[in-house]
Structure formats: structure tokens, C-alpha cells
Amino acid sequence: MKHRIKQLEQALSLANAKPTTAACEPGADSHSTTSFLAGTFHVQHEGRLFGSADVTSRSVMHKSRLFGRSHWINGVVLWFKEVFETIEPLALMENSKAFATMRKCKSLARVVKARRTPPWPLEPTPDLPPKEVADDLVNRYLETLETVFRVLHIPTFKRDYAAVWEPGAKPDPAFLVQLKLVLAIGATSHDTTFSLRPLALRWIYEAHTWMSPPEFKRKYTVQSLQTYILLILAREFVGVDEGSLWVTLGMLIRAAMYMGLHRDPSYLPKRSLFAAEMRRRLWNTVIELAAWTSLNLGGPPFLSPEDFDTQPPGNFDDDQLNSENPTPKPGDHFTQSSVAIALRESFPARMAILKFLNELASTGEYEEALRLDSKLRNAYKTLGHSLRVRNSDKGNGPPEFAARMTDVMMNRYFLSLHVPFFSPQFSQMSFAFSRKVVGESSLRIWYALIQPGSHARALEPSVVPENPWELEDNLKRLTICASGAFRMTAKYASLLIAAELKMQLREDDSLSRPPLRRDLLAIVQDTKGWTKRAIEAGETNIKGYIFATMVNIELDCIIQGVEKNELAQRLIKAVEEAEEVCLSTLENMLSAGQPEGAVDGGIEHMTLATPPDLMEMEDWDFSLLDTQFNVLGSPEPTAWVFGAPQELPRW
């Protein structure tokens, strides 16, 4: 009897342990989709929602990378699989120009990128652009990303920046590296063509070289952490291996924890208020970047609110921290930290969504998604109310860039949470709410990022300028000139809007042409011009433009009731024409010869008003590593992170 009881207890123990390890197993299935345009995608499905036959994408494997459910590819792979399958046979036929022209475009793109890429390692130099250009780049950084991701103490940075231009100055090399990363980020919105791209790439490579000496040169300081964060942001927006930033953020989190930033300064040895606030700001930025990369690249967050006790930054303006005993401003008073503080309040809700979407043990059940939606919606309302009421009576509120960027970030979470339940195979009314949320969030994202284009044209065509892509708008310029999350989020939103239009057309059973919303159609049409403009600004990846062309043709054919064979012919013709446009643009890009100047060191007009002996400063001893430009190739996991910073007594 005792033996039997023991057997039953063991069986019960095993039964209770199974759900955690096998959470992703029920209803799991997979298929592969291959396209001449994008290669092969392996899609894992699940069909366990309410015990129904409806399936959702669990993850997508592409080349050697696995993307979780928050990655954009999971949201569109099921919607546009048919269009690739329709065109694929024709694209691979011997007389088709599509495949051959695509290969030419890829070959040209590789040459352009190779000419742009600086050598590695690249020893940093004190060269800077002319002061008026540098001033503009610094201001653009401070007016954009710094308003949301607090990294610098602006008065200190401006003081050191002004000192660089003093006659006979010998700037601190560590500060010059930091400054060049600020310039690289600012260059992405400097103009509508990203004319400073070669220099921005060079500055990033110099920073990587500076931060890659052997361990004996390494120190963990606030300045080093600031530089590391700026390097991550610069890589994201300039487009230097931005696809691996989720991996890099793991190193950043551990470095910050090693420095104790995850503990509130009140639990650590006593420091000045300035030092304590800078640590709180930096930790806040670290966790925001960790969440942002997890969301966009589809990796588990590997971080939770239980992993730290650091409080949000205080409601201080930067210049207050220079005072003896400053007092935080009231909660309804807007400061340079207000956006970061408001975002922090929503962090637990956003982190719960990332775990739900990307962690292996997540059940992915719809009831849980609705519960998380409710929490995020409350946090979103609180955030909006918080930013609106702060000193609203005096007209002092968040900068337009910060307000729009925050709106994009929050709506990106709504998209990722509901897209798994927005599928062409989901026919139940049970998921109508998710469909509504996806549509609304996509519109908000598009209008925030590409504001004057489709929105204005849909409502009042006469107010749209002749070329809306040339407008002076930092956020829109980032979607055209910069790489990374903003551009991809805009593409994601436009593709989901196209998916909504496809669903409306398929659901319509009337005999006449179905009415479609002008604003939705305008967005899909504008996407083609916007992606083409990005290529003209120096983007070498033409897939976005080709895909936008295909989506427009498919929608037109569905509206007109075109048969499948005719659809395939129209698609292949449109793709071939679009490829010719891209080929011509890439040839012009190559013949322009701009990239060559970035790799031979002969950059003109790039000297400081400082004595020639500046280059002979003893501090410029970098002990370069003979390694590839790959942070994972370092001799010790974090040895490359912090290189020879100058000690700052205040921090």
C-alpha cells in the first residue's frame, strides 16, 4: 500500500511539472515558405485557442535566427504567403528578368556597402566636421532621442563640447569618442539624403575600436556606460549590425548590474544627488532599451521588475542637478526627465507583454492577452494624462518628437499583443477586438511616424506639399534615412493596414465594387513612395520597396476581381519594373563615389582649430586589438565593453 502511494505521488509530481517544459507543444505545427525575394522562412504554428482549429504563428526561423511573436515577421508571414507563392514560379522561369535583376541589385548593394564600410580596427582621430555642422548634429540628437532615452547630463556635455573648440584645446579622447557617437546619431536627421552617412559609419567604427582594448585598460564608470549606450543607439539608427542589438543589450544589462545600477543609490554608499540621479537615469534607459530590442527583435526580455529596485529618475531639469540641494519639481510640472518618468510607470505592463509573447513557457492564451491589454491600456491612459497635465496651463509640455515617439512605442506593444490573433485563418467573432486594436494602433503609428503624407492627403488633398518626404521633420527623416526600429515599425503598420483591407475585400459578398476607406488605401499607396525614397537616401536593401509594390498590385487586383493567373502576370511585371528602378538608383549610388571618401582617410574640411601636436597626445594610445568587428570575438565576454575612460570625480 505504501509503495502504491509513493508511485501515485511520483506520478502526480511528474504531471504537475510537465506544463512548464511542454508549454509550446500542444497543437504545434510548422511549414516553410521560400521566396526569391527573401529566402526561406520556417514558421511554427499553434492551434490551441479555445480548443479551436484557428492557428497562430509561434515563431519564425530565418537563416540562423529565431524570431519570437513580437517580431514583425510573425504578423505578416501568414497574410502575404499567398502573394509570394503566386509569383514564385514566374520569377524563377528562364525568361524572367525578376530573379536576374534581383541578383544584380544585391551584387551592387554589396559593393556599395563594402565601399562605405571603414576598415577595422579604425583608430580614433580628433577630426570633427565644421563647427556649424557639428552644432546642428548635436542639437538634433538632443532634440530627438535624448528627450526620451536620457543618457547625458546636458549642461556638462555642452560645457565639454564648447571646450573642444577653444583655441589650443586638447580634448579628452574619451569625450571625443562620446561626442562622435552623438554626431553620428544626429547625422541621421541632418538632411533628407543622409549625406553624412560615411562619416557616421566611421565615427561608430572609431568608437568600437576605442572600446575594444584588452581588459587591463577597462574601467566601469558612468561615462563609459553612457558611451556604450550611445554606441548601441548609433548602431541602431545608422545601421551597423542593428539586427544583433538584442544580444548586445544582454551585455549592457550585465555591465550595468555589475556597476550596481540595478540597486537604488539609497542602498549603496552615499553619493551626491547628481551622481545618484545620473545612475537612476542610466538604469532607466538601460531597461527601456532592453524592452525595446526585445519587442522589435522578438527575443525574451531576460529582465523583470523583480530584478531591480532602482527608483525612477527624480523630476529634475538638468540644470537643477548643478545646485547644492535641489528639490524635485512637482509632479504636474514638466521637466527634461518627465517623459522617462512617465514611460517608467508603464514598464511592468510592457514587460509582462514581452514575457507573454517571447518566453518559451508562455501559454499564449487569448484570455491572458485580453488581461494584459487591459493593464497596458490603463498604463497608456495614465501616461498620456501624465504628459498632458504637466504644466499644461503654461504651455510647457513634452517636445513633439518625444510625444510622437512615446505614442509609437506604446502602440507597438498593442500591435504585438494582438497581431497573433489577427490572422487570415481566424474567422471567429471572438477575435474581433484584436482586429480592431490592430487597425487602430497601425493608424496611430503611421500618422505619428509619417504624419503629413497619407493622413493629410486622405482628409484634404490640397494641403499636401508637392514632395511630402522633403519636409523638415526629425521623426519622419529617421524613418527615411535611419535604419532600425522606426522604419521597420512604419512598414509593419502599413502591411497590417494592407492586411485589413484584404480581409475587408474577402468578406464582402456584394456584386458591386466594395467601398474602402480612403485613409487606409492612401497609406498603402504612400508606402511605395516612402520605401523608394529611403533607397534614394542611401538604403541598399530594396526588399521593402519591392514588397510594397507587390502589396499594391495585389490589392488592386482583388478590388478588380482579377483571376489568379492574371494576378501573377501583373505581379511579375510590376516587380520587374520596380527592380529596374532600384537597379538604376543603386548604379547612381555607386557612380556618385561618395562612399570612397569614407574609407581612405582623406576626408576634407575635417580639422579642429587646435594645434597640430594634438595628434601626439599620450592619451591617444589605443592598444588596438587585431580582431574582426564582432563584439562576440572578444577574449572575455565583457572585456571589450569599456575602454580607458577618464575618471570623473563627481560620478
What average pLDDT does range 63-72 have in this prediction? 84
CA dist 108 → 97, 147, 532, 582 (Å): 16, 38, 17, 10
pLDDT digits (tens, 9 = 90+) for 382-429: 999 888 866 544 557 789 999 999 999 999 999 999 999 998 776 667
The rounded radius of gyration (Å) of the Cα atoms in the chain is: 26
User: Closest by alpha carbon to 122, among 205, 212, 241, 178?
Assistant: 205
pLDDT at 608: 39
- d(C-alpha 476, C-alpha 450), whole Å: 5
Of the pLDDT bands very low, low, confident and very high (cuts 50, 70, 90), residue 647 is very low
Determine contact, residues 78/424, Cβ cutoff 8 Å.
yes
The three cell numbers of residue 448 are: 505619428
- Residue linked to cell 538601460: 286
Of the pLDDT bands very low, low, confident and very high (cuts 50, 70, 90), residue 146 is very high
Residue 529 pLDDT > 80, yes or no?
yes
Q: What is the DSSP letter of 463?
A: G
End-to-end alpha carbon distance in the chain: 68
Which residues sit opposite 57 in a β-bridge? Answer: 45
pLDDT at 391: 52
Determine contact, residues 597/603, Cβ cutoff 8 Å.
yes
Determine contact, residues 231/204, Cβ cutoff 8 Å.
yes
CA dist 140 → 331, 451, 530, 601 (Å): 27, 19, 22, 26
Residue 45, classed as helix, strand or coil, is strand
pLDDT at 7: 52
What average pLDDT does range 158-183 have in this prediction? 95
Burial class (CB within 10 angstroms; exposed 0-12, middle 13-18, buried 19+) of 579: buried
- d(C-alpha 370, C-alpha 527), whole Å: 31
Residue 58 phi, psi (nearest 5): -90, -45
Handedness of CA 552, 553, 556, 561 (dihedral sign): negative
The three cell numbers of residue 583 are: 537597379
DSSP E strands: which ranges in 273-415? none
Of the pLDDT bands very low, low, confident and very high (cuts 50, 70, 90), residue 472 is confident
pLDDT digits (tens, 9 = 90+) for 253-311: 999 999 999 999 999 999 999 999 999 999 999 999 999 999 999 999 989 999 999 99
Give every CB contact of residue 298 below 8 A, 6+ residues apart in sequence. Answer: 59, 66, 67, 68, 69, 70, 71, 73, 74, 357, 358
User: Closest by alpha carbon to 433, among 447, 444, 442, 421?
Assistant: 421
Determine contact, residues 500/443, Cβ cutoff 8 Å.
no
Count other Cβ atoms within 10 Å, centred on residue 42.
14
Give every CB contact of residue 220 below 8 A, 6+ residues apart in sequence. Answer: 255, 258, 259, 642
- d(C-alpha 493, C-alpha 641), whole Å: 35
- Residue linked to cell 502573394: 83
Residue 46 phi, psi (nearest 5): -140, 145
pLDDT at 456: 44
pLDDT at 4: 53
- d(C-alpha 184, C-alpha 203), whole Å: 7
User: Closest by alpha carbon to 58, among 242, 502, 48?
Assistant: 48
Residue type, 532: K
If one compares 397 and 339, the residue with the highest pLDDT of the two is 339
The three cell numbers of residue 446 are: 503611421
Determine contact, residues 22/46, Cβ cutoff 8 Å.
no
The three cell numbers of residue 511 are: 456584386
Residue 622 pLDDT > 60, yes or no?
no
- d(C-alpha 158, C-alpha 146), whole Å: 13
Residue 112, classed as helix, strand or coil, is helix
Residue type, 159: R
- d(C-alpha 390, C-alpha 307), whole Å: 30
